[in-house]
Chain A
Amino acid sequence: MTKVAHYMAMEVINQELYNELQKEEEKYDAIESLTNGLFEQGTTIRLVVENALSSMQEAFQNGVYVPDMQAGWRKEINQEYQNYLLRFGYTQEEIDILKIMGVNITYKDIMNLKTTMGNEKVFISEDYKALLYQGKVYIIDVPKDEMSYQGTWKKDGQMTLTKTEFDWAAGILGINLEDIPKEELFDHNGKHRLQRAEVSGKDKNVTTAVALHIIMGIESFFVSSLEHMEIKVFFESSGNQRKATIMVGDSQTRLRMQEIDYGMPVNTYRDSKGVLGNKYASDYAIGMYKMITGKDVPDKNDTYTITGTLDERHREIDINGYLSYSEDGELLYTPLIYAGDTAYISTCQKFTGYNAKEILEFTDMLSNSVVADDEMKKILEQALEKYDNGK
């Protein structure tokens, strides 16, 4: 019996040794399979580089470099930046959506995406179409219909920028907030209103966008002062899509919005004070008419005013508009407009301002975007990049 037990024990030992060795073999195979795709992308990109260099060498004609802007290597390099997103947990479907939305990921974007991992920093993509947040690309969205960002979107994150961040960013950039050019504008009381954002002649729609704020008697349409401004960014996702909404609020404007009598139609001439105020209100309406139509008002001797209505929903919301970027990378402000907001150029009685007759509607222009000044753009960019949620 002892011999049987002995050889049975030996058999068990042999089996255990075999199992141990088998485990080692499996471990080796696992490492091999987990690592066999490594260095493939590096190799591919190096081939693309070689291809690019040789096609650049062929681009010389009579000793002058004649670049081929349609050269295949440009697309190949771009493709590799998109592919690199796979390393940030992107799926092919998500990459395709970015392509459809026209977001072009660059080398700088990839490096910035890397920087956003594990913190709250935010970068603007090099093509100004998206915000880079937590290793993901969020396309900048300006809601078309009121608060359209509600719905099936899931909030991935949020950040809030206030005076502290702006002051700090301005300090880093060496910008004195007091030095930001302010363009003067008169309101319907004949008072000087200071405009932070650039009311430049570049964009014909600029002043129409200001109109809503003039109607509301609001200090300024964009940044009455950085002191009062708050920028909130929502990062949201839904399926394979991600979007960022940059909302601007301003405490002064908010106060005004809560005071407004929404039941009462607006009439800037009627509501202005004194002869001077009346004159400015009429002149402003005349100027607006010319800006919109390109023509003079029908009768220069008539009295003009801006009339309209304001949607009561303004009272309940703490944002005034949205920020986004133009194709050229200019910072744009788009006012938040509700269905109940309307605006007209009207004629009215000279002494009372009553009996207003609408002669031109420009409601659809209220939601036109305005270009913000360059300093503001830089300050925002800086504040976003260094933001780390109070950390």
Chain B
Amino acid sequence: MIGMDEKLSFFKNGLRLDGRRPDELRPIKIEVGVLARADGSCYMEMGDNKVMAAVYGPREVHPRHLQEATRAIVRYRYNMASFSVEERKRPGPDRRSNEVSKVSREALVPVVLTSYFPKSVVDVFVEVLQADAGTRTAGINAASVALADAGIPMKSLISSCAAGKVDGEIVLDPMKLEDNFGEADVPIAMTPNGDITLLQMDGRLTPEEFRRALELAKTGCQQIYEIQRKVLVDRYSSMDVPESCDESEGLVEEGI
């Protein structure tokens, strides 16, 4: 925490340092199918966070002994580029990226129908190109879209977002400055139905504040879900299809 004689106020006229209201998300940019080699891919920006997610699979598992007889295994590797953070980071995994990988995988696995592809692996890779608090949530969002792009059968997409407490106020999607000097951080991930698949918390909150933070984070996830869905749907709807035609004729009627 910075010295008390020079207290930085995180609010001015009810708005945050970057002009947002307490319940507002940072601007989001999202693109699907951006990599040629990967089976599925998604590039996402949430505020100053820039992440690239790619999915390979289902594919053969190497080493073989990791495979499971009745279903696919899911692997998730979260990695930060050396230039993504303020002070250059030594390349390679560290304890933090290891933990982020684990909880992120566990955020997605509940919706992936792994029984469709026994003895195979679905590999999810997330590279953080620029970090500004919330990279794990951005990663999960991008990964979810990349999984759909790869054609992986899932019960639904997963959307992820964090809420925090800054200067006594509960805020949505804290940026780095708010996260560093804030009193709490609650990242979550959920299905569009509200089933929670990621929940972490650090800091200090009363149970009531925690409830408010969780509800706020859920509203963030719902907004993000609509953005994720739209980028997937728009990709195929943007082609010239005459309005009067019965759209179901396309891929469906003639081929089967």
Do A and B belong to a common assembly? no
> Footprint of A on B, CB under 8 Å?
none
Interface residues of A (CB under 8 A from B): none
